[in-house]
Chain A
C-alpha cells in the first residue's frame, strides 16, 4: 500500500474514532433531551384557573381571596357560554324533528367537550371522580381539548387506501341556532375563560397523586424509590465492606477464595429479572419476611443485586490504600483489627462511598427485581414505620405502569415524562456525586 493511502486510512481512523465518541454523546443527548425537556413540563407549565381552584380545594394552597376573585371573573366570562347552552336546550323542542335529530347528539358532544375543558357546569351535581371536578388544569391540554369542541374529528374514507383525518368545524352545523355564538366566543377568548399563567410546581416531587395521577404529584413513588434504594444500601454496604476487607486483608489465594470470588462475579452476571424471581421464591414465599410484597423484601432483593458492585468498589478502594499506612500502623503495635478499623477503612472511605453512591443509583433505577417483590401500581405514601410490611409504588415500576396500563395514557403524558425525568435526575445526581467525590479524592492524592 502506498504511503498516501496509509495516511488516508490513518486519518479516516482518527475521524471514525472521534465519530464513535461523538455518536455516544449523541445517543446520550437523544435519549435524555426529550425526557428532561418534556419532564420539566411537569414542574413548570402554564396553569389555568382550574389548576388554582384544584390546588385550593384539594391541597389548601394559594391565596383564597384572590382565587375566589379570579373565579368570579372567570365565571362572568363563561356566563355567555352557559347561557348559549341553556338557550339552545330550551329551543330544542321547537326545532323541526329532522333537524332536532341531527343536532341533539352534536349538542351533547359539545356539552361534554365543554365539561372536559372548563369543568362541570354551574349548578350541576358534582361528579364522583376527582378528574371530572375540574376543567383542564394545563394550558397545553386545554388547547387540544378546545379543538374537540370547535371541530368534529372525522375520517374520510372516500379516497383509495387508508382514511384521512378531517376536522370538521361544528359552527356551520349550528348556524342560526342559539348555540351559534358559543363557537366564536370559545375561539376568541379561551385565555379569558381559563386564564393561563406560567406556574412553577416544585411540589410535584412530593405531593400525593390525585385520582391516579390526573392531578397532584409523584410523592408516593419518590418515597418508595428512596426507601428501596436506602434499604438496599443499608443491607448491602455493611455486607460488601466486610466481604471486601476479607478478600483484601485476610484471604490467601486458594481454592475456597477462588470459588468465593467467582461466586461474586457470577452474582454480578445474574439477569435482574432472575433476582425478582428469586426474591419472590425466597424472601417472600420461603422466609416470609413479610406477608406479601414489601419494601423490606424489595430492598433485600436489590441489596443482593448491588452487592457485587459494592464489594468490587470497596476492594478497589482498600487496595488503593498505600501499604505504608498499614505497615506503619502494624509497626506501632496495632492489631490487624485495629489497623483495619482505624487506618485502612478511613483511608478507603471516599472510594467506598463512590461505589455506594453508584450502587444506590442502580438500585433506585432497577425495575425487574421489584415487580414481584415490592412494587404496587397504586398505593398511598408509605410511612417509615410501615416499611417492613407495606408494599409501595416506586418511580421505576410506576413509570412502566402509567405509560402502559393507565386507562388514560395520553391525558397524563406530562406525568409520565415528569416521572421519567425525576427518576433519571435522581440517578444522575447520585452518579455525578460519585464522580465529584472521586475527582476530589484524586486531587487530594495528587496534592
Chain B
C-alpha cells in the first residue's frame, strides 16, 4: 500500500515537473519562444510555460543554475560559459531553432539606400557622423545599438565592427530589438540594427554591400550580417518529454510556419 502511494506520489511529481516549462534568455529569440509557448499551451491546457526575456547571458546563467529548462541564446555559448557549465557537470546541448539576419535600419525618410559594411563600421565607430558623408541629407547621425552584452550586439560586433573596433561614445543603447526599431522609426537621423523579425515597413532596411536582407539572402548566406538562433538544454532532452516536443516544434511544419509568420527564417529542411 505504502509503496503504491509513494509510487503514485512520485508519478504525480514527475507529471508536475513535466507540466511546467521555464524559458529564459535572449530578447531576440523571445518572440519565437513566446509564440511556441502560446501554441503548446493551446494544444495542452495542463502545461504552464513561462518565458523571460532577460538576455542571452542571463539565459545561460539560468540554465546553469537550473532556474530554467531551456535557455534562448542569440549567439553560441562563450567558452567561459561552456567551461563553467562543464565544471558544474552540466552538458549544454545546442539546438538551432531559426536563422536570423540583422538588417541595418534607418528612418524611411532617409534617402540612403544601401551602405557597405565598411561604411556601417565607420558610422558605428564615429568616423562618419553626418548622413551627407555617405550620400544622404545633411543630418547628424543618431547611432542606436542594442545593449553591449546582448547576443545581438555580439553578433553585430563580430560581423561588422571586428574585434578591435570600439563603438563610438555617443551611441544610444536600447534594451531590446523592439526598442531599437521604435527609436529608429521615431528619429529621422537614426541608424540601428535589429533582428529580421522586428523589421517592418515603418523603418527602412538598408542593402549591405548591395544585398537586401530577406529570408532568401539569409539562408543563402549572401546577406553578410546573419546568424543562427539557439535554444540550449541541459543534456539531450528526453525524447518523449515536453522539452523535446517544444524544441521539436521548430522543425515541424506548424512551427516553421510560426517562425516565418513572426519574421524569422526557419531552418531549411534537410534534403
Contacts and interface: CB of A to CB of B under 8 A. Distances in A.
A405 to B, nearest CB: 4
B52 A162 contact: no
Interface of B is mostly: mixed
Nearest to B111: A157
A311 interface: no
A410 interface: yes
B144 to A, nearest CB: 13
A165 B108 contact: yes
A35 to B, nearest CB: 18
Given A390-B50, A391-B22, A407-B262, A161 B137 contact: yes
A263 interface: no
A161 B67 contact: no
Interface string B24-52: 10010011011101110110000011111
B137 A390 contact: no
A293 B34 contact: no
Contacts of B262: 129, 407
Interface stretch (A97-105, A180-188, A342-350, A374-382): A374-382
Given A379-B51, A380-B41, A405-B179, A162 B258 contact: no
Contact of A127 (B27, B111, B257): B257
Contacts of B175: 404-405
Contact of A377 (B30, B110, B138, B263): B30
Contacts of B181: 409
Contacts of A371: 54
Contacts of A163: 108-111
Contacts of B197: 407
A272 B51 CA distance: 24
A129 B176 CA distance: 23
A212 B258 CA distance: 13
Contact residues of A: prevailing secondary structure: loop
A376 B67 CA distance: 12
Contact of A212 (B35, B109, B198): B35
B152 interface: no
For chain B, which range describes its interface: under 10, 10 to 19, 20 to 34, or 35 or more residues? 35 or more
A293 B54 CA distance: 12
A242 interface: no
Contacts of A408: 200
Interface string A43-55: 0000000000000
Given A407-B31, A410-B202, A380 B48 contact: yes
A210 B200 CA distance: 22
Going nearest first, the 9 A-B pairs with the smallest beta carbon separation are A292-B67, A379-B50, A378-B51, A405-B176, A157-B111, A161-B137, A404-B179, A162-B109, A376-B52
Given A212-B34, A378-B52, A405-B176, 6 more contacts: A162-B111, A292-B68, A380-B41, A401-B53, A406-B178, A407-B198
Interface of B: 20, 22, 24, 27, 30-31, 33-35, 37-39, 41-42, 48-54, 62, 65-68, 108-111, 137-139, 174-179, 181-182, 188, 197-198, 200-202, 204, 254-255, 257-258, 261-263
Interface of A: 127-130, 132, 153, 155, 157, 160-165, 210-212, 284-285, 291-293, 371-372, 375-380, 386, 390-391, 401, 404-410
16 contacts: A130-B38, A157-B111, A161-B137, A161-B139, A212-B34, A212-B35, A212-B38, A292-B68, A380-B48, A390-B20, A404-B175, A404-B182, A405-B53, A407-B31, A407-B198, A409-B181
